[in-house]
């Protein structure tokens, strides 16, 4: 306790010292101080972009918030929950996060309960359960920001589940409203995907290009994550339209955004996209380099959908190189991992190539 008193009014910028204070707080069983310094240590690790340590700490904080050992103000718990969701997404540790979140049995019937679970379930490719969660969150939304956030996510899930009619209703609803700069980026991104899904690819590309002058520089991991998605989807549309130079330019912008905030989970996907683009242009060595980067990331965080796509891409690359034994090996790996993935969208391509 004497050590804790000494550091009470001190500014701590050293990670090892902060860890030492937490150890002292644990010995003293001072849970308020454990929480206080764990939150501060999380910020220190964020400063050096150590997302894995951030995730460990926010999980610890969430467990403590609901342990019954400590009284935490409701607004602070809500802030912790939203931070937990953001860090889980950035690190890609969504399966571990969902397991922890589902273990909390004293979470009240509030918007965040279903919104965060919807995000985590959808990130684990359980889009139907995610949709169910988002619909419950929509009913519990109080603020305009909550309503907009959940509608943006409902658009995505309905599009993935091929229900463009319901996705369109939410597009119309948000089109008529006022959105903050970060949510406007996310909405325009989703609206473009909706236009593409309804056969209006040119209009989707034009929408994203016309919006570029309105993009703002906001120093926030969440904003950079949304901005990366915006550029990635624009690149995807250009790639499908055969405009490979524009596609590569926007894929690289997406990569830059996600690298700035260490958005590990989606960096795996963008390396896949860049590799696929190289493969389409006949640059198989460049494609293979990017697929290797993707697989290293996806395997480490158990992003199964990304793993499936990477093995499939390896298979297609080896077929182009005439390495049929290696191609079969990669495609069988893709098929095996597909059995553990709820999203079966790549199964047809795997079977076709086998």
Q: Any idea what DSSP says for residue 213?
A: G
Res. 286: pLDDT tops 80 = yes
Q: How confident is the model at residue 348 (pLDDT cuts 50, 70, 90)?
A: confident
Res. 2: pLDDT tops 70 = no
Res. 347: pLDDT tops 90 = no
pLDDT at 195: 97
Structure tokens, 21: 């204070």
Res. 259: pLDDT tops 70 = yes
Q: What is the mean pLDDT of the chain?
A: 92
Q: How confident is the model at residue 1 (pLDDT cuts 50, 70, 90)?
A: low
Distance between CA atoms of residues 131 and 189, nearest Å = 19
Q: How confident is the model at residue 92 (pLDDT cuts 50, 70, 90)?
A: confident
Distance between CA atoms of residues 254 and 27, nearest Å = 45
By the 10 Å C-beta count (0-12 exposed, 13-18 middle, 19+ buried), 217 is classed as exposed
3-state secondary structure of 354: coil
Distance between CA atoms of residues 219 and 177, nearest Å = 24
Q: Are 350 and 331 spatial neighbours (Cβ–Cβ below 8 Å)?
A: yes
* Furthest C-alpha separation in the chain: 70
Res. 134: pLDDT tops 80 = yes
Res. 216: pLDDT tops 80 = yes
Please give the average per-residue pLDDT across 214-239, as a whole number. Answer: 91
Q: List, for residues 139-188, the tens digit of each pLDDT value.
A: 999 999 999 999 999 999 999 999 999 999 999 999 988 899 999 999 99
Chain centroid, CA 297 distance in Å: 13
Q: How confident is the model at residue 313 (pLDDT cuts 50, 70, 90)?
A: very high
∠ at Cα 301 (296, 303), nearest 5°? Answer: 90
Chain centroid, CA 315 distance in Å: 26
Please give the average per-residue pLDDT across 239-252, as a whole number. Answer: 94
Chain centroid, CA 235 distance in Å: 18
pLDDT above 90 as % of the chain: 73
Res. 284: pLDDT tops 80 = yes
Distance between CA atoms of residues 187 and 155, nearest Å = 9
pLDDT at 90: 87
Distance between the two ends of the chain, CA-based, in angstroms?
Answer: 65
Of 214, 208, 216, 295, the closest CA to residue 243 belongs to 208
Q: Which residues of 99-122 are buried (b: 16+ CB within 10 A; e: fewer)?
A: ebbeeeeebeeebbbbbbbbbbbb
Distance between CA atoms of residues 132 and 148, nearest Å = 17
Number of other CB atoms surrounding residue 67 within 10 Å = 12
Distance between CA atoms of residues 229 and 7, nearest Å = 42
Q: List, for residues 32-84, the tens digit of each pLDDT value.
A: 999 999 999 999 998 888 988 999 999 999 999 999 899 999 999 999 999 99
C-alpha distances (whole Å) from 43 to each of 164, 222, 251, 256 are 41, 15, 29, 22
Q: List, for residues 3-35, the tens digit of each pLDDT value.
A: 677 677 778 899 999 999 899 899 989 999 999
- Give residue for tokens 């000494």: 6
Res. 312: pLDDT tops 90 = yes
Number of other CB atoms surrounding residue 351 within 10 Å = 11
Q: How confident is the model at residue 217 (pLDDT cuts 50, 70, 90)?
A: confident
Of 124, 48, 84, the closest CA to residue 301 belongs to 124
- Give residue for tokens 């949304």: 226
């Amino acid at each position: 306790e004497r050590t804790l008193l000494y550091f009470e009014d001190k500014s701590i910028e050293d990670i090892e010292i902060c860890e030492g204070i937490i150890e002292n707080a644990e010995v003293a069983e001072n849970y308020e101080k454990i929480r206080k310094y764990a939150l501060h240590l999380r910020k220190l690790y964020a400063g050096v972009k150590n997302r894995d340590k951030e995730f460990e700490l926010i999980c610890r904080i969430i467990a403590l918030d609901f342990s019954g050992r400590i009284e935490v103000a409701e607004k602070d718990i809500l802030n912790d929950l939203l931070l937990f969701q953001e860090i889980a997404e950035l690190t890609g540790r969504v399966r571990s996060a969902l397991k922890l979140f589902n273990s909390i049995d004293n979470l009240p019937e509030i918007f965040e309960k279903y919104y965060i679970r919807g995000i985590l379930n959808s990130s684990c490719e359980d889009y139907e359960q995610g949709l169910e969660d988002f619909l419950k969150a929509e009913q519990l939304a109080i603020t305009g920001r909550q309503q907009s956030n959940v509608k943006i996510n409902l658009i995505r899930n309905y599009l993935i589940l091929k229900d463009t009619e319901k996705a369109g209703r939410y597009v119309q609803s948000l089109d008529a409203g006022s959105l903050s700069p970060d949510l406007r980026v996310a909405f325009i991104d989703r609206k473009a995907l909706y236009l593409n899904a309804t056969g209006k690819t040119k209009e989707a590309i034009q929408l994203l290009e016309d919006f570029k002058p309105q993009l703002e520089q906001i120093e926030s991991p969440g904003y950079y994550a949304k901005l990366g998605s915006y550029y990635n989807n624009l690149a995807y549309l250009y790639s499908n339209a055969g405009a490979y130079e524009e596609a590569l330019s926007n894929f690289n912008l997406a990569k830059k955004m996600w690298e700035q905030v260490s958005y590990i989970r989606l960096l795996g996907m963008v390396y896949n996209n860049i590799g696929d683009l190289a493969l389409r242009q006949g640059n198989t060595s460049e494609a293979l380099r990017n697929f290797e980067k993707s697989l290293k990331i996806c395997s480490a965080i158990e992003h199964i959908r990304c793993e499936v796509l990477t093995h499939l891409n390896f298979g297609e690359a080896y077929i182009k190189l005439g390495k049929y034994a290696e191609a079969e090996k990669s495609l069988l790996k893709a098929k095996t991992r597909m059995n553990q993935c709820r999203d079966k969208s790549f199964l047809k391509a795997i079977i076709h190539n086998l």
